[in-house]
Structure 1
Amino acid sequence: MDDLRHVFLSAREVMARYGWGKTKGYQNLKDRELVPAPVMTHPDRWRLDQLIAWEERRMALAEAALDALAVPDRREVNVTDLLPQPKRRRSA
């Protein structure tokens, strides 16, 4: 596989990765507190390795939030349910 530092995603590819629609996707991509800034501009491109690191940080934060809750049986709660959900679910 290619070195992930050399894999760049366009805005459409980032939105597809997270299941965001066009309007919500562009709003999210402009929010620097939510998504890391693109490494290239004109056209915007995001490095895949940075997006994966951002995903891992978000998962760690979600797991910490889950641990902070007084959940008697953690197996019943899926940590991905605590992450921002896509607007639409694609059917298989």
Structure 2
Amino acid sequence: MQWPPDASDSDDPRHVFLDARDVMTRYGWGKTKGYQNLKDRELVPPPVMTHPNRWRLDQLLAWEEKRMALAEAAQGALLAPDREELTLTELLPQPKSRRQSA
């Protein structure tokens, strides 16, 4: 299947099935990391069909929404309640301290 699917293929994501290669392409995963991620049931929802594995697009979209909501909640937890917003450099890990040369 070509990614992204043409609108003429089907407008209903319940009728669009993606194989492992399509899912890896959708998320930008390489072959090795993609197959590792697809086997991890805590990370990616299980396929709806096995032999060959197929994932329904609507279930992947729901999974994406859930992951985005969790990421937004985590970002909200990082923000201090007394501060409106943090800069990007404040959210990144701080560099290691360097020794002062004598």
The reply to whether TM is greater than 0.5 is yes
Which of the pair has more CA radius of gyration?
2
The counterpart of 2:43, out of the listed 21, 31, 34, is 34
Is 2:31 aligned against 1:13? no
The counterpart of 1:25, out of the listed 34, 37, 50, is 34
The structure, 1 or 2, with the larger RCO (C-alpha pairs under 8 Å, 6+ apart) is: 1
Listed as ranges, the gaps of 5+ residues in structure 2 are 1-6, 89-102
Distance in 2 separating the partners of 1:13 and 1:36: 15
The alignment's TM-score, normalised by the length of structure 1, stands at: 0.77
What's the RMSD between the two structures over aligned residues?
1.4
The alignment's TM-score, normalised by the length of structure 2, stands at: 0.70
Q: Which amino acid aligns with 1:30?
A: K
Distance in 2 separating the partners of 1:5 and 1:70: 37
The counterpart of 1:56, out of the listed 42, 62, 65, is 65
1:43 match = 52
How many aligned positions are there? 76
Q: Which amino acid aligns with 1:54?
A: W
Other structure's SS at 2:26 match: helix
